[in-house]
Amino acid sequence: MDLDHFHPNCTPGALPGCMPPPFNGDLLQIMPWPNYQGMTDHDIRAIYEYLSAVTCITGPADPNNILHNDCP
Protein backbone atom coordinates (compact mmCIF):
# COMPACT_ATOMS: atom_id res chain seq x y z
CA MET A 1 0.00 0.00 0.00
CA ASP A 2 1.13 3.54 -0.74
CA LEU A 3 0.50 4.89 2.76
CA ASP A 4 2.30 8.17 1.96
CA HIS A 5 0.11 8.70 -1.14
CA PHE A 6 3.26 9.50 -3.10
CA HIS A 7 1.70 7.99 -6.27
CA PRO A 8 -1.84 9.45 -6.43
CA ASN A 9 -4.40 8.43 -9.03
CA CYS A 10 -4.71 10.83 -11.97
CA THR A 11 -7.72 13.10 -11.74
CA PRO A 12 -8.49 16.39 -13.46
CA GLY A 13 -5.89 18.85 -12.23
CA ALA A 14 -3.72 16.11 -10.67
CA LEU A 15 -0.09 16.77 -9.93
CA PRO A 16 2.69 15.44 -12.18
CA GLY A 17 3.69 11.90 -11.25
CA CYS A 18 0.15 10.65 -10.80
CA MET A 19 -0.70 7.07 -11.77
CA PRO A 20 -2.89 6.97 -14.91
CA PRO A 21 -5.51 4.23 -15.41
CA PRO A 22 -5.43 1.23 -15.28
CA PHE A 23 -3.02 1.67 -12.35
CA ASN A 24 -4.32 2.04 -8.81
CA GLY A 25 -2.33 4.77 -7.09
CA ASP A 26 -3.29 3.38 -3.67
CA LEU A 27 -1.11 0.36 -4.37
CA LEU A 28 2.62 0.53 -4.95
CA GLN A 29 3.17 -0.88 -8.42
CA ILE A 30 6.90 -0.45 -8.59
CA MET A 31 7.86 -3.76 -10.17
CA PRO A 32 5.85 -5.89 -12.61
CA TRP A 33 6.38 -9.10 -10.60
CA PRO A 34 4.53 -11.38 -13.06
CA ASN A 35 7.13 -10.48 -15.69
CA TYR A 36 9.83 -12.03 -13.53
CA GLN A 37 8.13 -15.34 -12.69
CA GLY A 38 10.02 -17.30 -15.38
CA MET A 39 13.49 -16.14 -14.36
CA THR A 40 16.19 -18.71 -13.83
CA ASP A 41 18.38 -18.86 -10.74
CA HIS A 42 21.18 -17.48 -12.91
CA ASP A 43 19.04 -14.47 -13.89
CA ILE A 44 18.10 -13.77 -10.28
CA ARG A 45 21.72 -14.08 -9.15
CA ALA A 46 22.81 -11.65 -11.88
CA ILE A 47 20.27 -9.07 -10.71
CA TYR A 48 21.35 -9.57 -7.10
CA GLU A 49 25.01 -9.08 -8.01
CA TYR A 50 24.22 -5.94 -10.01
CA LEU A 51 22.11 -4.38 -7.27
CA SER A 52 24.73 -5.26 -4.66
CA ALA A 53 27.34 -3.38 -6.69
CA VAL A 54 25.29 -0.17 -7.00
CA THR A 55 26.63 2.49 -4.64
CA CYS A 56 24.23 3.69 -1.96
CA ILE A 57 23.52 7.41 -2.19
CA THR A 58 22.91 9.07 1.14
CA GLY A 59 19.92 11.35 0.90
CA PRO A 60 18.79 14.11 3.24
CA ALA A 61 19.48 13.55 6.95
CA ASP A 62 15.82 14.06 7.88
CA PRO A 63 14.32 10.55 8.20
CA ASN A 64 10.88 11.95 7.36
CA ASN A 65 12.11 13.13 3.95
CA ILE A 66 11.03 10.74 1.19
CA LEU A 67 14.56 10.90 -0.29
CA HIS A 68 16.21 9.83 3.01
CA ASN A 69 18.30 6.66 2.71
CA ASP A 70 20.09 4.77 5.48
CA CYS A 71 23.32 3.74 3.78
CA PRO A 72 25.39 1.19 5.68
Residue 65: its pLDDT value, please?
Answer: 86
Average pLDDT over residues 10-27: 71
The predicted model scores a pTM of 0.44
Per-residue pLDDT reduced to its tens digit, 22-52? 777 677 666 677 778 899 999 999 999 999 9
Instruction: Decide: 26 and 37 in contact? Cβ < 8 Å.
Output: no
Cis peptide before 12 (omega within 30 of 0): no
Q: Count Cα neighbours of 5 within 13 Å in the Cβ-side half-sphere.
A: 5
Per-residue confidence band for 66, with pLDDT thresholds at 50, 70 and 90: confident
